Structure 1
Amino acid sequence: DIPNCRYIAFDKGYAYVSAYVGPVGIDPNAQLGAVFQVDTATLEITAEVTVGYQPDELVIQDGLIYVANSGGYRKPNYDNTVSVIDIETMTQIRKIPVGINLHRIRADKYGKLWVSSRGDYEKIPSRLFVLEKDKRTNRMEVRDTLNVSCSEMDICGDSLYLYSVEWSNISQENNVTYGIIDVRTGELISNSFIKDGTETDIEIPYGLKVNPETGDVYVTDAKNYVSSGNLHCYGRDGIRKWSVRTGDIPAHMAFLYKNK
């Protein structure tokens, strides 16, 4: 019953789902999106709040939901805000101007939020934004804009691992990059977490996850989007440990730990 749903986050027995709400397709009059609250015990929708245009990823922190609004269906009039929802009342309390065509959002252990922008695929490039609480107002504001493209990211300790598959409407090509950022300083400490040259085996990176216990980095490859993909595992040293064939367009991963 949630139309055109996108991403999901969990908190205290509830799932929170972002949704474009409207039909799929470019439309200058595309409607605002929403976040739905779902009781995980009954699977019933218990609340709904309207947010920005075409909301994508969301993260929960300190009783608030932060939602990255893309406005992708309203191209070229993209949204550029992060919606802030009070989780207790399920109301949108403000919007934070960040950057156009937002997508990913992550929280680090220092309370900062990392938000990625896809750009407009022509003149405005993909960028990574850092949001931090203003000490005077105690509200999240943009603290920094990093000159780094980002399609997917995962944080492990003080390191933010990322890759970018940045499409250009001008060159009609993808530019694929990798990197590691120190979340304490915001510095790019490595321009690739792959050190053995095997990144050339990855056609279209489409998923990224870091094992918090071992530090192993997992990258999926969607290849041509219509044939079976691959999953690659890299050690902390950036050397590939193994690869395995997957189904079509492998995107997301989770770790399941078994008691010994």
Structure 2
Amino acid sequence: MRPIIAFTADTLTEPMTAVNDQFADMAPRPLKNAVLAAGGAPLILPFPDDTHLAAEMAAAYVATFDALLLPGGPDVDPTFYGEEPRPEIGRTVYPKDCFELALIKATLAAHKPIMAICRGMQILNVAMGGTLYQDLPSQDPHASLRHAQAAAGQYPTHHVIMKADSSLVGMIGQRAYVNSRHHEAVKDVASGLKVAATAPDGVIEALEDPAHAQILAVQWHPENLWEADRAQLAPFKQLIERAQAGHVAATTAVSA
């Protein structure tokens, strides 16, 4: 049986993010297709406009899925990591942040696997106590690459280097050519996470937990690359494997 892989979407604020939207570069459709190709069953979770419902909805949802996939999207509200917005910050969606933060915490507490992409990696880091650069070009003097690429999203534009002790190096190799669509990035890494990959300019490109068991997060968009570069499907396959292992363990515990 395919494990249920849940991911969040801007379905209440962004008409173009419908599941089968024609704007494949921006919508959840590439995520849906990657999850299906990897062997999972995708489930999209809308966020409530009422932020008071965020924790309640997160608790209700977490029982319905085997793993959580956090996709890309708008900037993260900086007040969640103790800062006010800089002039360079992009669009934020406060109710979405409230819901995803609650959902991440509920998923971590339930010991279910998480994969995060782009904004997903950023809000995961914040949820676990880390901070972000609100705008790389104006805040990080070492960010010498263009991380908000002008090329179409399915085309790679810069390299990333995997850490030798990361799970990614076994999946993708030591070096990969990836796409890059962000101006925010991880600054201070949260306790409980470690850097798994960087860009040549030092910008953090992947995070994971030290045991490689629950969390894998990447800054690039493998959902737009895997059809041309099959190695980019490996993180999704690993998520499915982790979800299946957790589902079997949970079922065994209930049976006992």
Give yes or no for TM over 0.5: no
Q: TM-score, normalised by structure 1?
A: 0.29
Larger helix percent: 2
Larger strand percent: 1
Q: TM-score, normalised by structure 2?
A: 0.29
